Structure formats: structure tokens, C-alpha cells
Amino acid sequence: MNIHVPPKERLVVIGNGMAGMRAVEELLKRTPDRYEITVFGAEPHVNYDRILLSSVLAGEKEIDEIVINSRSWYEENGIRLFTGDPIISISGAAHTVTSKNGRVEPYDRLLVATGSRPIVPPIPGLNLQGVCTFRDIADIEQMIDASTRHAKAIVIGGGLLGLEAANGLLRRGMNVAVVHLMDTLMERQLDHQAGKLLQRELDERGINFFMNGQTEEIFGATQVEGVRLADGREVPGNLVVMAIGIRPNTDLARAADLEINRGIVVHDDMRSSDPDIFAVGECAEHRGMTYGLVAPLYEMAKVCADHLAGDAHKSSYTGSVLATKLKVTGVDLFSAGNFSGGEDCGEMTYHDTTGQVYKKLVMREGRVEGVVLYGDVTDSGWYLELLRNKEDVAAFKDAILFGQAIVAAMGKIKPVGVEDLPDNYQICGCNGVSKGTIVQTILDKGLSTLAEVRAHSKASASCGSCTGLVEGLLAATLGDAFCKAKEPGMCRCTEHTHDEVRRQIIEQELKTIPRVMSALSWSTPDGCHSCRPALNFYLLCAWPGEYVDDAQSRFINERAHANIQKDGTFSVIPRMWGGTTSAKELRAIADVVDKHTIPTVKITGGQRIDMLGVRKDQLPAVWRELNEAGLVSGHAYGKALRTVKTCVGSEWCRFGTQDSTAMGIALEKMTWGSWHPHKVKLAVSGCPRNCAEATIKDFGVVAIESGWELHVGGNGGIKVRATDLLCKVATEAEVLEYCAAFLQLYREEARYLERTAPWIERVGLDYVKGRIVRDAAGRKLLQDRFLYSQQFFQQDPWEERARGETQPAEFRALATVDS
């Protein structure tokens, strides 16, 4: 029997980017077999999430992590993919396209998704080495490469794209200048006030702004050396990133005689002037609008897929409400709709200058017309919903600026847990995924992790800013099953997380390790080597002066106050305040080394002297002799304050601006003896040359003419992390105050064995700034708690043990037998 199979229709897609491939994905969902699909892409890659290029540049993601569809996906769906082979002409009459490599491909339907091109103004110097745009993977690679070879970068353009580029280069350790034509940043998305707040924040992070700057020339011999502005200013730099804006890429369509205005003109069904040719994405112009954000592209992709699938009656595209977020970690910013107001419009603003929060709603006839949020974007989803639905908000207008939770608490609207949201509430703006779709996907596919939900529903898979909501939906849908999957317990002895255990210690006033274990139902009689040291720290941190330290729950180094070596001997490192020493101390060390025939003496990375190969039974005598010269324990063995490294500073150095050594000694005198979740290292540099390497320390201080810069969260270990700038202060007293507060916050809130670097990455720099910089009263309280705790811990553990008063048995053999 012969079954007649009609030949498949041929769909050719020009452009392997986000819009084109999303349209193909949507089409496959509707009708997987109708078309034989061929895709041409100009870039040599599979399709990837262009939005996340800024995260790759900032070092937060790898290239592999932003791939949307791998080659196997194309194969599995029977899609022929030609990468690195752009189409160079379309023949509407012949229904064919021709590629650069000479391939002629016939089509029944053609989808043009050629995206956009960076705008590059015709200025001299564009051909110099080190000039690039910020559009694709090749650009990012060039920028990352430049960041390893050059120190200074210039970004031309202070819009969304430019600022993300600037932030990324800053995170890569470059000194970054931004040249912007206007006097406000992101003027297309932000009003003047929010723009200024953003500029101040980025300025504090270290970006230099050249506002009202028209770039006239890029200069240099072969490599870029800088740019010259029309008003005569010169900005030095060896990398220039052009990020002025984008322009729809319409060359092909224009040559094929399609109707072009700014973009390829499309109707509500996404058809161009040729009914067999569709266009979606940044290259398309719909009702006079072109779009450069992802959400409208995805909306277009859906409509286009409906029409390609023959569900023509179903849908039409009517334009999008634009909403923007800036992907700069720690900067919370949102804008949507008409935020600049106009006739018949009113404005409501809330501006908390202490907390750096700014909110503005543009209102018209009792409805929200536009939104700008800075510093607190919790309610962005709600405002956007009110805006999109043109809801009448007159009933709660007075409180609307305080956010959804307050309005709900006043009984003006229904309460708003994530479970209370309506099913059609759009959770993921980028991908247009509603709450109902997410919940249904979780249930249908039996999903239990965020990664799975992203894979199956796309929710939170693009810019990621709705991740919290999606997790909330997972939790609400799965109940306890999700909580367990999400955070493992402290160790095998308990299901409670570190944070939960700490909370219970305070709430239930648990003050011994056995009490914690019984109150929280530990599964082992006395814990393990992992949880006991953690509990010991949590208890001494929570109850200073009350908790009796449990030596048997300390790792040997902290129990013996020396560092165990591979052969079972120990190393002894006395404290050297701020890295300073004296002839008397050095003589005492030399005598101890001679007397006890200590095999190795070494200078440590933290500016101290290490005596290695001391037997445990020798420790008390060694300590006694060091004590006699005034030397005390350096805590080089502990999850504790280790060293305060310093440079010589203004006392001797011809460049020094402040007395960094004295500052370092003062810091060490304040902080020595403090126990922490992990080791803590400080440094003080006397000028921005930073010889003490303060920017890879947990708390680094760098002197500047007007005072001190305070840096936090650096690490020079396995994973090098440069510090984040916390703030600048004027006086030594402030340095001490901020340092004490910062260390206490870390002590109270980080998890055991979590260094400051991962802790800050976890909680966010902005949170730390909120607690330490913006909350002056809270900072004082933290400082008070730190200093209160210190009165119990600033006793030299060596002295107590050298006198034989503490742990006398620890350093002696139980017995010696002769057989």
C-alpha cells in the first residue's frame, strides 16, 4: 500500500539568535513536523543568551553556561544549522536565499531575525587596535583579553549596555572610564533623579564618569591610547568599547525590497510586506516601534509561531510595555512605561536619601502609567502588572508607593504570598511565563529543582531576576519536599542548616553543645568532626563570657594553639603587631630556636616569623621563653584574626599619605584574639600603590589623601577575589569602628568555614553596605558587640598554657613504657 506523504514545507531562518530560535522553539511546540527547518547564523556558535554576555564579562558566568540550545538540540529536532555562514541575499521572487559560502536555499516561508548592529559613529581612530563593540562573543573575548593586558578601559555610552560593559571590565580589575553624551545615565530608562543615584553608586565602585562628553577622536599609534572629547578633555585608555546603542540590521531586507522604515516593517501577524517573509526581534519595526529588550522579542516569537503553524486566528501582536532592569550585581534598578510623564500626568515619588531608595510612579487618570525604582525593586512585578492591566488604583493610591505588602496589610488588596498570585500573573518577564504555566510544569513533569524548572518552562532562565519568585513557587507547590532538596543540613548529624541552628541557639537560649544536640535532635550521640567545631564557634559567638569553650570540639590547631605539620610536629608563630618587630624580639626568637634546636625558621606571607618542627611537648617551654620577651600567640593556627599586614606608610615612605603602620597596629590591637567562622586577614596600605596588598584581604584599608578607603571580601587563596569597596572614611576612629562592625557581622552571620569572599558573594555587597555603611546605629551596635566579646578573648592562650594552668595534660604524654 502506498501512502502519499506530502513533502514538508521549507522554513528558512536567517539569524541564529534569541528571537529567531525562540520562534523556532515555539513553532516546534505547536507543530513539530510541519516544516523542514534550516537556520543560518553569522556567528560560529550555537545560539546563546546574549543578555547574559554582561555576566560572562563580569566573570559571573562561563560561555558554556549561556548556551540556550546545543548542537544536539538542532539534530534532535531535525534542524539543519549553518553557523558562520551569513545569508547575503534574499530573492522574494524566486523564494530562495543565498549564503556567503554560495549555498542557495529555497524556502516556502522565510523568517528574518537578523537582530541589530551596534551604532558606531564615524570618528577618527576606529581602526586602532583595542577598539571594539559590545554585541557578541567575539567582542567579549576581546574585552576579557584586553583586561589581562591593559589597565585602563574607556566605555563610550552610559546607557544600559555601556554600564554593563563598564561594570564587567571593572570586575575584571580594569580602571574604567565612561564617556556619556548626556548629563544623566540611562536617560532612556531613568529619570534624572534615579540616573544621579545610579551614577553616585557606580562612582563609589570606582567608575570614572565623563558626562556631557562628545567623543571626537580615538587616538593612538597602533594601539588605542585614549579618546579626545569635543570640549578638549582627554581620557587615557588602551581599550575602547563603543556602546552607544543599536540599530536594526535591515540590509538584507532592504536589498530584497521589503518595506523598511527604521526596521523591517511588520504587521500584527509578524509578516513583512512580503506575506511569505516574517520578521521578529530587534530587526523588526511594529507600529512605528523597534525593540531592543528581550521580552518583546519573545512575545513576537510566539505570535510568529502561531501564524507559521497556521493558527492564524489565534493571535496578533499589539506591542509591548517596556520594562528594564540593569544587570549590574548589587544595583537594583527598574523602569517601565512612560516614566517621564507629560500632560494630564501626575507624579508620586518616595526618596529615602539615607537608605538610597528612590521610587517614582507616573499616574494618569487613576492608573499607573510609568515606574522608576532604584535601590528597592521588590514591587517591580506588581507595578508592572498594574501598568499592563491598566488597573484602577484610586482605592489605594495613598499607600501605593509603600509597596504591595503594605497595601495588602491595610486590607486594600488581597494578600500577596506567591501562592496568592493569580494564575495569569507573569512571573518571568523575559520569557513571558505565567505563574499557572510554571506550577503546571512543576506538577506535570515532577520537577523539584530550579534548574529543572528553568529547563522545562524557561522561567528565570534569561536575566534571572525572577529566580526568587520561581523558587517561591517551587516551595509552595512542593511543600517540604523542596526545602529539603534546597539546603542540605550542617552535616550528616542533623538536617538543620547552619543558619537554622544559629537561629535556634539564640531563640532557645542554648548554651552548651549537648543542649544544642538534644534540643535539635542530633542523630549522633556527640556529633562529628564537622559539626562540633562549628557549634563551638556559634556558641562562643552567641554567648561571649558565658559559654565555656569546649577544647575537645576544637580542631587540634586551636586546641594546642599551634599549627600541626605533616609529621605531627607543630609550627609556632608569634604575633608581630602590624608586621613590626625589634632587636629584643628577634634575639628571643633566635635564642629559642637555638635552645630547642628548631629545624626551620621562615618568614610567612603575613609578615611574621614561623618556627617549624617543634614537638608538642616542647610547646609550653617555647611559649614561656617567647612570652618573656613580650611575644604572644599570633593565632596563625586558628579560625581567627590572623595578621594585619602593613606597608611602612608616611613615617618613612616618600609616597605614603597616611601612617599605615600605626593604623595596622591599632587594628591588630583591637581585633587580635577574635574567633571567626574562618581565618581573617587584614592589611593597611599607606597610599593607593597598595604595597600591603590590601585588596585581596578580608578587610583591607587603603590610605588616600582625604582619609581611608575600606575594602572587604578579598581573598588571595585558591580562588583569587579582589575586594569590593565598602566606603571611604575620614578618620582612624572610623576605620576601627567600621572594621569592628564588619567583623562582627561576619562572625554573626557567615556559616562556619565560609570566608568573607564567598559570604559576601552569597549575601551581596549591598546587604553588607546596608548594615555597615547606611545603618549608622546598627553599625555602632555591631561594634559594641564586637568589643564586648573581645574582653573575654584577648588573653594570650600561650601564657595560660606556659604557666601550666590550662590544659596541663594536653602537652604531656600520659605515660612512658619501656616495651
Partner 1 sequence: MSGSDCLGGWRDVGLIDDIPKLGARVVATARGNVAVFRTADDEIFALDDRCPHKGGPLSQGIVHGTYVTCPLHNWVINLPTGEAVAPDQGCTRKVPVQIRDRRVFLNPAFTTILPAGSVGWARKRRGAAR
Q: What are φ and ψ of residue 24, in 5° steps?
A: -65, -45
Nearer to partner 1, 1 or 815 (CB): 815
**487-526 positions binding partner 1, by CB under 8 A:** 524-526
Nearer to partner 1, 603 or 814 (CB): 814
Determine the Cα–Cα distance for residues 143 and 132; give it in Å rounded to an integer.
8
Determine the Cα–Cα distance for residues 157 and 151; give it in Å rounded to an integer.
19
Which is nearest to 219 in space by CA: 155, 142, 131? 131
Nearer to partner 1, 1 or 814 (CB): 814
Q: Does 33 bind partner 1 (CB under 8 A)?
A: no
Inter-residue contact 17 to 115 (CB < 8 Å): yes
Nearer to partner 1, 566 or 654 (CB): 566
Nearer to partner 1, 127 or 819 (CB): 819
Q: Which of 313, 566, 654, 719 binds partner 1 (CB under 8 A)?
A: 566
Inter-residue contact 33 to 8 (CB < 8 Å): yes
Nearer to partner 1, 261 or 524 (CB): 524
Among the residue ranges 18-26, 499-507, 556-564, 755-763, the one whose residues contact partner 1 (CB under 8 A): 556-564
Nearer to partner 1, 353 or 552 (CB): 552
Q: Does 700 bind partner 1 (CB under 8 A)?
A: no
Nearer to partner 1, 553 or 789 (CB): 553
Element (H, E) at 294: helix 294-308
Which is nearest to 306 in space by CA: 260, 264, 271? 271
Q: Does 819 bind partner 1 (CB under 8 A)?
A: yes
Q: Which of 261, 530, 600, 731 binds partner 1 (CB under 8 A)?
A: 530
Q: Which of 564, 621, 653, 727 binds partner 1 (CB under 8 A)?
A: 564
Among the residue ranges 79-87, 225-233, 449-457, 559-567, the one whose residues contact partner 1 (CB under 8 A): 559-567
Q: Does 127 bind partner 1 (CB under 8 A)?
A: no
Determine the Cα–Cα distance for residues 622 and 642; give it in Å rounded to an integer.
20
Inter-residue contact 682 to 758 (CB < 8 Å): no
Nearer to partner 1, 93 or 718 (CB): 718
Determine the Cα–Cα distance for residues 53 and 144; give it in Å rounded to an integer.
12
Quote the least distance from Cβ 514 to partner 1, whole Å.
9
Inter-residue contact 82 to 15 (CB < 8 Å): no
Nearer to partner 1, 286 or 561 (CB): 561
Element (H, E) at 235: strand 234-236
Among the residue ranges 114-122, 305-313, 362-370, 554-562, the one whose residues contact partner 1 (CB under 8 A): 554-562
Among the residue ranges 365-373, 549-557, 780-788, 795-803, the one whose residues contact partner 1 (CB under 8 A): 549-557
Among the residue ranges 295-303, 560-568, 669-677, 699-707, the one whose residues contact partner 1 (CB under 8 A): 560-568
Strand order from edge to edge, sheet including 707-712: 641-646, 680-685, 699-704, 707-712, 724-729
DSSP E strands in 310-462: the ranges are 323-325, 333-337, 345-352, 357-364, 367-374, 426-428, 433-434
Q: Which of 15, 213, 527, 579 binds partner 1 (CB under 8 A)?
A: 527
Nearer to partner 1, 705 or 818 (CB): 818
Q: Which of 229, 321, 528, 621 binds partner 1 (CB under 8 A)?
A: 528
Nearer to partner 1, 409 or 528 (CB): 528
Phi-psi label, residue 199: left if phi above 0, alpha if psi -120 to 50, beta otherwise: alpha
Map residue 603 onto helix, strand or coil: strand
Q: Does 608 bind partner 1 (CB under 8 A)?
A: no
Determine the Cα–Cα distance for residues 626 and 778; give it in Å rounded to an integer.
40
Q: What are φ and ψ of residue 612, in 5° steps?
A: -110, 145
Q: Does 615 bind partner 1 (CB under 8 A)?
A: no
Q: Does 718 bind partner 1 (CB under 8 A)?
A: no
Q: Does 809 bind partner 1 (CB under 8 A)?
A: yes
Q: Going by C-beta distance under 8 Å and a sequence separation of 6 or more, which residues neighbour residue 681?
A: 606, 642, 643, 645, 697, 698
Provide DSSP, 458-492.
-TTSSS-TTHHHHHHHHHHHHTHHHHHHHS--SBT
Quote the least distance from Cβ 813 to partner 1, whole Å.
5
Determine the Cα–Cα distance for residues 725 and 713; give it in Å rounded to an integer.
9
Inter-residue contact 781 to 818 (CB < 8 Å): no
Among the residue ranges 49-57, 115-123, 275-283, 810-818, the one whose residues contact partner 1 (CB under 8 A): 810-818
Among the residue ranges 196-204, 240-248, 563-571, 790-798, the one whose residues contact partner 1 (CB under 8 A): 563-571
Query: What is the identity of the amino acid at 235?
Result: V
Angle between the N-to-C axes of helices 732-749 and 776-793, in degrees from 0 to 180, rounded to the nearest 10: 80
Q: Does 552 bind partner 1 (CB under 8 A)?
A: yes
Nearer to partner 1, 34 or 615 (CB): 615
Quote the least distance from Cβ 553 to partner 1, whole Å.
7
**Residue in the structure block whose three cell numbers are 576601627:** 736
**Residue in the structure block whose three cell numbers are 524548572:** 453
Quote the least distance from Cβ 493 to partner 1, whole Å.
9
Q: Does 551 bind partner 1 (CB under 8 A)?
A: yes
Quote the least distance from Cβ 185 to partner 1, whole Å.
46
Which is nearest to 124 in space by CA: 224, 247, 239, 231? 224
Q: Which of 218, 560, 670, 760 binds partner 1 (CB under 8 A)?
A: 560
All cell numbers assigned to 275: 506575506
Q: Within 10 Å of residue 328's Cβ, how many Cβ atoms?
A: 22
Among the residue ranges 238-246, 553-561, 636-644, 726-734, the one whose residues contact partner 1 (CB under 8 A): 553-561
Nearer to partner 1, 583 or 809 (CB): 809
DSSP E strands in 656-737: the ranges are 680-685, 699-704, 707-712, 724-729
Q: How far apart are the first and last CA of the chain?
A: 96
Give how many residues touch partner 1 by CB under 8 A.
27
Element (H, E) at 279: strand 277-279
Quote the least distance from Cβ 567 to partner 1, whole Å.
8
Inter-residue contact 274 to 255 (CB < 8 Å): no
Among the residue ranges 257-265, 546-554, 676-684, 751-759, the one whose residues contact partner 1 (CB under 8 A): 546-554
Quote the least distance from Cβ 556 to partner 1, whole Å.
4
Which is nearest to 435 in space by CA: 420, 450, 446? 420
Quote the least distance from Cβ 517 to partner 1, whole Å.
11
Map residue 778 onto helix, strand or coil: helix
Among the residue ranges 64-72, 363-371, 557-565, 713-721, the one whose residues contact partner 1 (CB under 8 A): 557-565
User: Binding marks (x or -) toward partner 1, 251..290, rule CB under 8 A?
Assistant: ----------------------------------------
Map residue 666 onto helix, strand or coil: helix
Nearer to partner 1, 52 or 531 (CB): 531
Nearer to partner 1, 189 or 553 (CB): 553
DSSP at 418? G
Q: Does 354 bind partner 1 (CB under 8 A)?
A: no
CA dihedral for 494, 496, 499, 504, sign (positive or negative)? negative
**Residue 345 C-beta-side C-alpha neighbours within 13 Å:** 17
Nearer to partner 1, 603 or 817 (CB): 817
Q: Does 553 bind partner 1 (CB under 8 A)?
A: yes
Q: Which of 135, 359, 532, 681 binds partner 1 (CB under 8 A)?
A: 532
Chain residues that interact with partner 1, rule: CB under 8 A: 524-530, 532-533, 551-553, 555-557, 560, 564, 566, 568, 809, 813-819
